[in-house]
Amino acid sequence: MSEITILLGRIFLDRNDAGAHLALGAAYKNRGDYEKALKYTRTSIELDRCDEAILQLGKCHELCGEHELAQMIYQKLEDTSKLRLLRFAAPR
């Protein structure tokens, strides 16, 4: 059974499995099917806004030739990460 088939099965069993959506997006990205990669990566972000999914979204847009959009996503991710670091480092 292929990785994509297994991940589709996981999503069929649990539509809210953000990790399965992210992994499926990565599998489609690796195959060069960027439209499906974007679809599943976006769903993953809707379910759980993790940095890894946002980074993958940027990479997908970059691979689609949407460099300006990819840069905006990377910048937003960087700004959010810096803000999180500042909050973590702030004295309590």
Average pLDDT score over the chain: 91
Amino acid at 23: A
Q: Which of 19, 70, 76, 27 is nearest to 48 (CA)?
A: 19
pLDDT at 75 over 80: yes
pTM of the model: 0.84
54-59 contact pairs (CB < 8 A, 24+): 56/22, 56/25, 56/26, 56/29, 59/29
Q: For residue 88, report the phi and psi dihedrals to the nearest 5 degrees.
A: -65, -40
Counting every residue written for the chain, the total comes to 92
Structural domains of the chain, with CATH: 3-89 (1.25.40.10)
Average pLDDT over residues 20-38: 97
